[in-house]
Chains A and B, each alone.
Chain A
Amino acid sequence: AQKITQTQPGMFVQEKEAVTLDCTYDTSDPSYGLFWYKQPSSGEMIFLIYQGSYDQQNATEGRYSLNFQKARKSANLVISASQLGDSAMYFCAMREGLNTGNQFYFGTGTSLTVIP
């Protein structure tokens, strides 16, 4: 089974609107971390937001928020007030366990295009 599933290959959003990128995960480990990364055409993975499995509140970082629904095993990324510079690939990732050296599992990504 896939550890991380991103079902939206491509998304479009109007500038200044909000957009939700979906992510579901699969793990039997009670301790895990969920991450979202942005990858512009240059290739570098840029960290956006982190949610720990024991965190009680949804993570927020500026215009990014993570809608964490543990029972559904979903970790959707919400980008508010979209900007043209948000156009990029977005990857959801998970690390199982408390060991921060553990490997990351990535989804297949969602291509976001912001329309002026």
Chain B
Amino acid sequence: DAGVTQSPTHLIKTRGQQVTLRCSPKSGHDTVSWYQQALGQGPQFIFQYYEEEERQRGNFPDRFSGHQFPNYSSELNVNALLLGDSALYLCASSRPFQHTREHNEQFFGPGTRLTVL
């Protein structure tokens, strides 16, 4: 049973460029959340996708956008990259709208480390 996968593992971009990060959720999961983790900080919620729609959004500018595909995989796009966008980007998947103990967990992928020069 494959867990959450993310690609690429590492990425180096320059200011002003655009980047696309990809995530495949754990089998059986249909909700994908994206987080940004700056060095030395905890993850910050960017947004969440369910049924191919953005359901929740954190305090991130419109330069951050996403998409979810019919197979539940997701992309995170960042336009007009800034130096401050350098971070580890984590994808997490979960099953929504069920409140039982075994369904409470979010499973995280290994992350994509983005460096903006």
Binary contact readout A100-112 vs B (1 if CB under 8 angstroms, 0 otherwise): 1111111111000
B105 / chain A contacts, CB cutoff of 8 Å: 35, 47, 50
Residue B79 lies at the interface, judged by CB distance under 8 Å to chain A: no
Q: Which residue, of A33, A35, A47, A102, has the highest number of chain B Cβ atoms within 10 A? A: A102
Check A43–B94 contact: CB distance below 8 A. no
Residue A115 lies at the interface, judged by CB distance under 8 Å to chain B: no
Number of contact residues on B: which range applies?
20 to 34
Check A101–B43 contact: CB distance below 8 A. no
Binary contact readout B28-41 vs A (1 if CB under 8 angstroms, 0 otherwise): 00010101000011
Q: Which residue, of B44, B55, B99, has the highest number of chain A Cβ atoms within 10 A? A: B99
A109 / chain B contacts, CB cutoff of 8 Å: 41-42
A107 / chain B contacts, CB cutoff of 8 Å: 42
Binary contact readout A60-90 vs B (1 if CB under 8 angstroms, 0 otherwise): 0000000000000000000000000000000
Q: Given that A91-B42, A103-B33 are contacting pairs, would A43 and B104 also be in contact in the complex, using a CB cutoff of 8 Å? A: no
Residue A29 lies at the interface, judged by CB distance under 8 Å to chain B: no
Q: Given that A33-B104, A50-B101, A52-B104 are contacting pairs, would A99 and B96 also be in contact in the complex, using a CB cutoff of 8 Å? A: yes
A47 / chain B contacts, CB cutoff of 8 Å: 105-108
B66 / chain A contacts, CB cutoff of 8 Å: none
Interface residues of B in 75-111 (CB under 8 A from A): 88, 90, 92, 94-99, 101, 103-111
Residue A56 lies at the interface, judged by CB distance under 8 Å to chain B: no
C-alpha gap A52/B102 in the complex (Å): 11
Question: Which one, B56, B99, B113, contacts A100 given CB within 8 A?
Answer: B99
Q: Given that A45-B90, A50-B104, A52-B104 are contacting pairs, would A101 and B58 also be in contact in the complex, using a CB cutoff of 8 Å? A: no
Residue B64 lies at the interface, judged by CB distance under 8 Å to chain A: no
A99 / chain B contacts, CB cutoff of 8 Å: 96-97, 99
Closest 3 CB pairs of A and B: A101-B96, A106-B42, A45-B108
